[in-house]
C-alpha cells in the first residue's frame, strides 16, 4: 500500500529531513582516522536528540545503534563498535531520524585520508547515479525509469549495482511501499504521482554485485571483498516538482 503525502505531511518530513541532512554534514566534519565507529554513533545519537528528534534505527528490528557505519567491503548495516577508522578507507554512514512522527533517511560515503583513485571514483559514481535516478523522478514517469537510470549509469562506469537491497517508500514508517530497486527496465513499474516520497539509495560495488550478511546478522559485505559505496536521500514529488529533503 503506497501512502501519498499531502503538502502538509511533506512539510513535516522536511523537518525530519533537515535533521538528517544536517547530521550528515556534522559527521562529515567529525570523521577522522583513529576514531572508532562507536564514537561516530555517539556523536550522531547526541546530535539527533539535541535536535528534538528520535533515532529511527535504534532498536529497529533489534538493530543496536543509531547509525550504520559500513567500511570498504561492507555494503550497509555495519554496526558501530570498537573498529578504528583507518587512513584510505571509505566509510558509508547511514542515518535516520523521526521528528513529530515523520521519518528522514539518508546516507553518504565519506573518504577518509588518502583514498585510492578507484575507490574515489566508486564514491563519486554512487552519488552521481542517485542524481541520474532523481532526474527521472517526475509525474508521469514510472518507477522503473529511476531504477534503469541508476543501473545504466553505474554499469556504464564499470561498477555493479547491488540487487538484494533496495530503496523504499518512506513516511510515518521508515520502510513503506514501493520498493525502489537500483536496477530495472525503463517504462516498468508504478506510475510516479504527486505526494510520493521515496528513499532512493544506490549501493554500488567495484566488483561483483553479490553480497552476503555476516554472522552478526546485520553487516552486509561484498562477496569478493572489494569495496562498496552507498548514497541515499529522502526525496519528495511535490506540487513544485522534485525536492530532496535530506541535503
Q: Which residues contact Co ion by CB under 5 A? A: 105, 199
CB of 117 to ligand MF3, least distance (A): 28
Under the binding rule (CB under 6 A), the answer on residue 199 touching ligand MF3 is yes
- Determine if 73 is a binding residue for ligand MF3 (CB under 6 A): no
Applying CB under 6 A, does 212 fall inside the site for ligand MF3? no
What is the Cα–Cα distance from 86 to 102, expressed in whole angstroms?
35
Residue 176 touching ligand MF3 (CB under 6 A): no
**Number of residues located near ligand MF3, criterion CB under 6 A:** 11
State the Cα–Cα distance between residues 68 and 74, nearest whole angstrom. 10
Q: Tell me how far apart the alpha carbons of residues 40 and 47 are, in angstroms, rounded to a whole number.
A: 11
Report in angstroms how near the CB of residue 242 gets to ligand MF3 at its nearest: 19
Contact status: 94 vs ligand MF3 (CB under 6 A): yes
Q: Residue 162 has which C-alpha cell?
A: 547491488
Of the chain, the end-to-end C-alpha distance in Å amounts to 27
3-class DSSP string for 25-66? HHHHHHCCCCCEHHHHHHHHHHHHHHCCCEECCCCHHHCCCC
Please report how close the Cβ of residue 94 comes to ligand MF3 at its closest, in angstroms. Answer: 5
CA dist 224 to 127, 137, 201, 210, Å?
A: 22, 33, 21, 8
Q: Binding to ligand MF3 by residue 177, rule CB under 6 A?
A: no
User: Nearer to ligand MF3 by C-beta: 60 or 223?
Assistant: 60
CA 150 from chain center: how many Å? 14
Joined grid coordinates for residue 12: 513535516
- Choosing from 96, 171, 184, 202, the residue that interacts with ligand MF3 (CB under 6 A) is 96
**Options 63, 124, 157, 226; binder of ligand MF3; rule CB under 6 A:** 63
Considering only residues 23 to 42 of the shown chain, the ones binding ligand MF3 according to CB under 6 A are none
Contact 104, 16 (CB under 8 A): yes
- Tell me phi and psi for residue 144, to 5 degrees: -60, -20
Pick what 61 binds: Co ion, ligand MF3, none; C-beta below 5 to 8 Å, kind-dependent: ligand MF3
Which residue number is nearest to Co ion in terms of Cβ?
Answer: 199
Within 10 angstroms of residue 66's Cβ, the number of other Cβ atoms is 27
Identity of the residue, 73 or 105, whose beta carbon is nearer to Co ion in the bound complex? 105
Q: Does 145 bind ligand MF3 (CB under 6 A)?
A: no
Residue 39 CA, chain-centre distance (Å), reads 20
Q: Which is nearer to ligand MF3, 115 or 137 (CB)?
A: 137
User: What residue ranges bind ligand MF3 (CB under 6 A)?
Assistant: 57, 60-61, 63, 68, 77, 94, 96, 105, 199, 201
Amino acid at each position: 500500500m503506497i501512502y501519498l503525502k499531502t503538502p502538509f505531511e511533506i512539510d513535516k518530513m522536511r523537518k525530519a529531513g533537515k535533521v538528517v541532512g544536517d547530521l550528515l554534514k556534522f559527521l562529515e566534519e567529525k570523521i577522522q582516522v583513529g576514531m572508532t565507529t562507536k564514537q561516530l554513533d555517539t556523536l550522531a545519537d547526541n546530535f539527533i536528540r539535541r535536535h528534538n528528534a528520535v533515532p529511527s534505527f535504534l532498536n529497529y528490528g533489534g538493530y543496536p545503534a543509531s547509525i550504520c557505519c559500513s567500511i570498504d567491503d561492507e555494503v550497509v548495516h555495519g554496526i558501530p563498535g570498537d573498529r578504528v577508522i583507518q587512513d584510505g578507507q571509505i566509510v558509508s554512514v547511514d542515518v535516520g531520524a523521526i521528528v513529530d512522527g515523520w521519518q528522514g533517511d539518508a546516507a553518504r560515503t565519506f573518504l577518509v585520508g588518502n583514498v585510492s583513485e578507484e575507490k574515489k571514483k566508486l564514491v563519486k559514481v554512487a552519488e552521481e547515479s542517485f542524481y541520474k535516478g532523481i532526474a527521472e523522478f517526475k509525474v508521469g514517469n514510472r518507477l522503473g525509469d529511476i531504477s534503469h537510470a541508476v543501473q545504466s549509469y553505474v554499469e556504464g562506469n564499470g561498477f555493479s549495482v547491488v540487487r538484494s537491497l533496495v530503496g523504499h517508500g518512506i513516511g510515518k514508517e521508515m520502510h513503506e511501499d514501493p520498493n525502489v530497486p537500483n536496477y530495472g527496465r525503463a517504462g516498468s513499474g508504478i506510475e510516479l504521482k504527486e505526494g510520493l516520497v521515496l528513499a532512493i539509495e544506490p549501493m554500488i560495488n567495484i566488483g561483483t554485485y553479490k553480497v552476503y550478511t555476516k554472522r552478526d546478522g546485520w553487516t552486509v559485505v561484498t562477496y569478493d571483498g572489494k569495496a562498496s559505496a552507498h548514497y541515499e536521500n529522502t526525496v519528495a514529488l511535490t506540487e513544485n516538482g522534485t525536492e530532496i529533503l535530506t541535503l
